[in-house]
Structure 1
């Protein structure tokens, strides 16, 4: 073998060895960013709402699929684990949707739900939180920070203080409509009285009770038990929306255990959530300042109103009829 041939042979052998070693070196796969974050942080958790799901993680180019673990939740400023997030609280879980047109008794409602002890959240492997009605047991207006661990084909990384959770009370109720007309006895002539003044007061965070009062301009309540408040033909009343328990009438109010929020739970065609009542003329005196009123004849007061309760609790709903006084 000539010297030149030996040199060529050694060169090719060495090159092959280098290439072989290069081929054995592990090539990095995927990418796990330092910049993963929650785009909806601070996450606003409305206490007592049955279902709230956070947005997906912002991945900053990270290779998917990923798996995310929740490591800790702490109250901001304390550095201590927020045990209230990891306790279990009783909350209803619905196995089927409740249809108030079909499920008209509490027994039918209870057949579709189960009372379970649950943490106020579920943490998904995608990194999303799903909050439930047990959040009602968390303190309000409180900030929490949390840590997560993210893993993918590129490895595992811990993200400290990656987001903020803020607990809050959302809108408890809305008042959507109100009105009041005087109807002349016998002729039915309509004279506008003006809108009643509606106030809704949450007297407790517990229960599912709506206490409806219709009162005169001085706050004197009309009595639904002795005919001072009656229906208006076939138009819906408070009772039409109380699907699961009967209305309880007292001397001053009508009380409904509405059981499920929101209340009312379902619209009535044509009327939405409107409620109509009549206070007959023998129980009232109307202000002579009302334009178009004939003082020689009797008039009934005919309030209508619509409200929506969004959160469990006990509420007093007062419908104050302005320019209307109760006789006696």
Structure 2
């Protein structure tokens, strides 16, 4: 009798296990509180960026995440520019500024494709911004998503705010300046007020040099570099020499460009992409500093700040130095954040020989 009871009990246990094993188990859940940790998410127009993914608040993957809408935060209306295709340059292979030094080598790696300004990575929810976002007006936008997992589907309106900011076409990394050196010497002439003292870095103005930058067109990728004296006379391109340093020369824009053309009024630098110079150079010797020299056969006189009458920006008086013939070394340092054709005009406090 005792054995029968044990057998019956075991049979019931096996039956229970069998029934339980056939029962469908619900996989996890889909939280109402999915979110982005970076919210608002700030990105510059035309800047390629991939955000972090969705913080899933314990929800069960896998996810299927769909971009439903992007709305102007102020008006609540759909921003159609996010859903249009634009032609952008893309790299089919990684660009190497040390290797890709001709247009042929660059074009072998580069192509053009139609891209939308914003995509969403379906499984992670990462927001991917492309260079096509340069076509979207700057402003704040709300992102609406649909998220599906094995437990269901939900809509998340305004799950992230995008702060799309206007990207500066260019930046002054530091102020331009020049130093005067006697003929036959590599030691600068000391003046009471430092030549590289900035007056207004936001407009590229220092004690004896002002660099004006203007974006002329979206194409081609080229810098037209002109150097003028204080009266507006333009130096020929050949007057802008490399600056010697021992047995070699310091970097200038030619170092970063794939093509350099010298004209009667300028030097033209063709470059592959923005950012220019390529970020590779940020951590190299002298970083993005560009050094040049103008020899004494082009220079009639130089100016220097009058220390007794010097109170920039409202009061800036100069004295003229004609004690001896001089050559000058000058330096600029800039970044281009958007591709296109730019005019660089560097005005130096000196006079060009007629």
Shorter chain as denominator, the TM-score bin is: 0.7 to 0.9
- Cα offset, 1:44, TM superposition: 2.2
Q: Does 1:222 align with 2:207?
A: no
Deviates more, 1:114-123 or 1:277-286: 277-286
SS at match of 1:111: helix
Alignment partner, residue 338 of structure 2: 311
CA distance in 1, matches of 2:147, 2:268: 52
CA distance in 2, matches of 1:87, 1:294: 60
SS at match of 1:31: coil
1:64-93 CA-partner distances (Å, limit 9, x unpaired)? 332211122233355543322121111122
CA distance in 2, matches of 1:138, 1:242: 29
SS at match of 1:262: coil
SS at match of 1:55: coil
Alignment partner, residue 31 of structure 2: 33
Q: Does 1:74 align with 2:71?
A: yes
CA distance in 2, matches of 1:42, 1:166: 6
Q: Give TM-score scaled by structure 1 length.
A: 0.80
Structure exhibiting the larger radius of gyration computed from Cα positions: 1
SS at match of 2:294: coil
CA distance in 2, matches of 1:214, 1:311: 23
Alignment partner, residue 210 of structure 1: 223
CA distance in 2, matches of 1:33, 1:172: 42
CA distance in 1, matches of 2:65, 2:148: 7
Kindly indicate whether the alpha-carbon contact (under 8 Å) linking 1:239 and 1:247 is maintained by their aligned counterparts in 2.
no
Alignment partner, residue 262 of structure 1: 275
Query: Which of 145, 150, 156 pairs up with 1:148?
Result: 145
- Unaligned runs of 5+ residues in structure 1 are 1-11
Q: Does 1:277 align with 2:292?
A: yes
Q: Does 1:62 align with 2:47?
A: no
Summarize the Cα distance change of 1:288–1:99 in structure 2 as closer, same or farther, 3 Å threshold.
closer
Q: Does 1:246 align with 2:260?
A: yes
Deviates more, 1:272-281 or 1:296-305: 272-281
Summarize the Cα distance change of 1:236–1:26 in structure 2 as closer, same or farther, 3 Å threshold.
closer
Q: Give TM-score scaled by structure 2 length.
A: 0.75
State the superposition RMSD in angstroms. Answer: 3.0
Kindly indicate whether the alpha-carbon contact (under 8 Å) linking 1:180 and 1:192 is maintained by their aligned counterparts in 2.
no
1:21-44 CA-partner distances (Å, limit 9, x unpaired)? x96876644121111122223222
SS at match of 2:281: coil
Alignment partner, residue 132 of structure 2: 134
- Unaligned runs of 5+ residues in structure 2 are 1-8, 197-208, 308-319
Count of paired positions: 304
Query: Which of 208, 211, 223 pairs up with 1:198?
Result: 211
SS at match of 2:189: strand
CA distance in 1, matches of 2:158, 2:306: 63
- Cα offset, 1:230, TM superposition: 2.3
CA distance in 1, matches of 2:219, 2:166: 14
Q: Does 1:160 align with 2:175?
A: no
Summarize the Cα distance change of 1:290–1:84 in structure 2 as closer, same or farther, 3 Å threshold.
same
Summarize the Cα distance change of 1:312–1:327 in structure 2 as closer, same or farther, 3 Å threshold.
same
CA distance in 1, matches of 2:113, 2:230: 46
- Cα offset, 1:274, TM superposition: 2.4
1:256-286 CA-partner distances (Å, limit 9, x unpaired)? 2223112122439534322222222232302
Alignment partner, residue 3 of structure 1: none
CA distance in 1, matches of 2:179, 2:74: 57
Alignment partner, residue 353 of structure 2: 327
SS at match of 1:278: strand
Summarize the Cα distance change of 1:26–1:254 in structure 2 as closer, same or farther, 3 Å threshold.
same
